[in-house]
Amino acid sequence: MAKNRASIPNALRPWIEARRRFHLSHAHIQMARALGMNPKKFGKLANHLQQPWKAPLPEFITRLYVKRFGRLMQDEVRSIEEIAALQRAKKRAKKQARKDRKAAAAGSPQTDADRRDERSAGVVPEAALKLKPHVPTH
């Protein structure tokens, strides 16, 4: 349990708590996230027993979603845990790509240290030879 809880980012934890506390489905949580709702404010929205004019929270979220996006549900419904796993995989891939780029740059023949050695030895790079000196016209 502790390991699983640690793998969920802090930004997604309130959504899991709201899903459990208000008996919402993964689809309702995904719709609420798309609407930009705050899971910490669900308590005042889910008060349909004491305030009968309010709709139950799942119906309220669905009605708002249909009103804003014009469709009943998103095409693909993912749980918060799946979203967290995708975020972790993306982060690992970015980290690996960065590591690969650094390794490729370190393996290249022209490193910063090589450039410094060439400058101190008086070797002029080819690009510098092609530049024309600036001559003032006044």
- Spell out the per-residue pLDDT of the chain, length 138, in tens: 455 555 888 899 999 999 999 999 999 999 999 999 999 999 989 888 888 999 999 999 999 999 999 988 888 899 999 999 999 999 999 999 999 888 888 776 555 666 666 566 655 556 555 656 667 776
Q: Enter the pTM of the model.
A: 0.64
Distance in angstroms (rounded) separating the CA atoms of residues 73 and 31: 7
